Structure 1
């Protein structure tokens, strides 16, 4: 949906170019900014919030071309509890997503892989980074079925909502991802808080079982999460959850800021040509 710019807490997204991107006949809005190798940053519920855009800007400032696709919600809107709850409800019944157990792989991931191909063709470099958040967390793993995706990052992956040990991926796709990770030596970086009820230790254990040592799951103390996040996260999510967005504490040396910097370093290591890796910038 189009960007919201009526309320002071909204983000007008004026420093990104707004593109309409078509993949196999399906058109979606994508916000693009920066220069350098491409990174696809998928939004978390309830949409492309100011905190998601803050992360996108950090990625841009680190020397990448960030692509933020609009998948649900109102682009740029501050996450309120009432509006966010309705967006979650609609997404859970959408044909594009598989929010519950036994649903398999969300169909929207095919479109996201197409976006990665287009971004790689435009931006060049060794490949593309894919960062999922919350509802889209596992999508970054499924995107690794696209050969251009070489740096998948799973932040607090929350699907399926009704199975804390589930992975929101069909058996065939899971086997293909496992094979691709083993064949190409990919690493999968992931983050969660230790007391997150939407992304549990059971889920990380399932990733480890699927991917073995290729899965680098990092767990932060939930006590360090921001205590005054936007209303959707305070009242609906109601648990430490969004490590590098809504629950990040923007203070030097803070564990959530260290997580952000680790993600940027992970992207730089895999996306920058070898001679340029030492020049990767941090915000």
Structure 2
């Protein structure tokens, strides 16, 4: 199936004096999908279509890169370099929010107003992975998903544990989680150097049983032949084969969001497909 944006509605939305292209498709409660490096590529669009098929409205903001462009090594490198120098993304500093998350919270509020329902979902991927945590400050966000959260880059022990948000935002996110029973879903490959064990351990420490993890075995010699350098669970390294762990993880992610935004959703058991 061709994965492009030809059947999505393109919107130009302005929040906080910043205008960005956003692609919308579907019916039902809204889900903000924040793409990974190198951009809004066909793998992210595939995920968006899966969410639409589940009865959700997907909102795809284009944050960098060229929408629909195929992934290649040069494109990844160029987009990563660009992301590192953009002031909207905090790639090294610990306990600091990326400024773009303020704009994304406005988008979540807008999507909730447009789509109705109890609230919206928010999926971050790779360089945007931790953004779903920052978006929890917005009351409309009820289903945050942090997929291979890579910021800040884990170059020191402190950065390995850092969640990419400041202490006040973390406090507010934890408060909402505890008081309103909002769960956070996290996904990663176990050998991913960009998403170290320490980062997920910190999420368990901060959110307790309200943090649910899907951790896919990518250690040497794993039974599915997953490369040790695999990073993007729902994007670039998703493998469209029956019962592959990434396919199961995608189904669980969709179920996690439906369970929180739709009365006929299905509950999620992370242990059914994620591998510790």
Q: Normalized against structure 1, the TM-score is what?
A: 0.87
Q: Which runs of 5+ in 2 are unaligned?
A: 267-276
Q: Any conservation in 2 of the 1:225–1:248 contact (CA below 8 Å)? A: no
Residue 168 (structure 1) aligned to one of 157, 164, 169: 164
RMSD: 1.6
Residue 92 (structure 2) aligned to one of 100, 120, 130: 100
SS of 2:247's equivalent in the other structure is helix
1:200 lines up with 2:196 in the alignment: yes
Specify whether residues 50 and 270 from structure 1 end up closer, same or farther in structure 2 by C-alpha distance, changes over 3 A only: same
Specify whether residues 265 and 225 from structure 1 end up closer, same or farther in structure 2 by C-alpha distance, changes over 3 A only: farther
Farther off after superposition, 43-52 or 81-90? 81-90
Q: Any conservation in 1 of the 2:4–2:42 contact (CA below 8 Å)? A: no
Q: Which runs of 5+ in 1 are unaligned?
A: 1-9, 228-237, 279-283
SS of 1:130's equivalent in the other structure is strand
Q: Any conservation in 1 of the 2:192–2:229 contact (CA below 8 Å)? A: yes
Q: Distance in 1 between matches of 2:95 and 2:143?
A: 26
1:277 lines up with 2:265 in the alignment: yes
Shift of 1:225: 6.5
Q: Any conservation in 2 of the 1:44–1:133 contact (CA below 8 Å)? A: yes
Specify whether residues 225 and 198 from structure 1 end up closer, same or farther in structure 2 by C-alpha distance, changes over 3 A only: farther
Q: Distance in 2 between matches of 1:277 and 1:166?
A: 32
Determine the structure 1 residue equivalent to 2:46.
Answer: 54
Specify whether residues 225 and 136 from structure 1 end up closer, same or farther in structure 2 by C-alpha distance, changes over 3 A only: farther
Specify whether residues 250 and 154 from structure 1 end up closer, same or farther in structure 2 by C-alpha distance, changes over 3 A only: same
Q: Distance in 2 between matches of 1:225 and 1:241?
A: 14
Q: Any conservation in 2 of the 1:226–1:249 contact (CA below 8 Å)? A: no
Q: Distance in 1 between matches of 2:193 and 2:183?
A: 25
Determine the structure 2 residue equivalent to 1:119.
Answer: 111
Q: Distance in 1 between matches of 2:5 and 2:181?
A: 36
Q: Distance in 2 between matches of 1:132 and 1:149?
A: 13
Q: Distance in 2 between matches of 1:89 and 1:251?
A: 32
Q: Normalized against structure 2, the TM-score is what?
A: 0.89
Determine the structure 1 residue equivalent to 2:55.
Answer: 63
Shift of 1:101: 2.9
Farther off after superposition, 166-175 or 128-137? 166-175
Shift of 1:277: 3.3
Write the mapping of 1:228-267 to structure 2, written as runs, cut at 5 A.
239-267=229-257
Q: Any conservation in 1 of the 2:95–2:167 contact (CA below 8 Å)? A: no
Farther off after superposition, 11-20 or 47-56? 11-20
Q: Structure 1 segments of 4 or more deviating over 3 A?
A: 223-227
Q: Any conservation in 2 of the 1:225–1:240 contact (CA below 8 Å)? A: no
Deviations for 1:142-186, whole angstroms, at most 9, x for unmatched residues? 111100000001111011113222211111111111111111110
Determine the structure 1 residue equivalent to 2:147.
Answer: 155
SS of 1:40's equivalent in the other structure is strand
1:190 lines up with 2:182 in the alignment: no
Q: Distance in 1 between matches of 2:32 and 2:187?
A: 17
